[in-house]
Amino acid sequence: MIAVAGGVLTALILLLLGFGLGVAYSNREHEAGRRIHDLLEQRGPEYALEISRRTGLSVGTVYVHLARMEQAGRVTSGLENIDPAVAGRPQRRFYRLRREA
């Protein structure tokens, strides 16, 4: 019984998280994704902290949406071209909308 309950619990968690199960996201999630998309469309490549500042979304929310968008092929990312030792900070990961072929 515990194994069945564990499987059901896992399925419910995955359902709530929306991992590949075709789950409709809430209006709030759609709004957050739209705000990120619109910002990248208007401003071009940005890094997550700047996206968070400009959209008013938490950094965690931005990272979740960027990961989903990248996995879906709508966004690409790459590290900026700096020497971290010279800049005195780590490289930032920039995100940009993928160009349609």
Could you tell me the CATH number of the domain that includes residue 54? 1.10.10.10
Q: pLDDT over 70 for what percent of the chain?
A: 72
Show the domain range for 41.
26-97
Mean pLDDT of 56-66: 95
The model's pTM: 0.69
Residue 83 pLDDT level (bands cut at 50, 70, 90): very high
Domain annotation covers residue 86: yes
Domain annotation covers residue 6: no
Domain annotation covers residue 21: no
Domain annotation covers residue 9: no
Domain annotation covers residue 12: no
Q: What pLDDT does 42 receive?
A: 95
Domain annotation covers residue 2: no
CA 100 to chain centroid: 19
Contact call for residues 51 and 62 (beta carbons, < 8 A): yes
The predicted-structure confidence for 30-40, as pLDDT tens digits, reads as follows: 889 999 999 99
Domain annotation covers residue 8: no
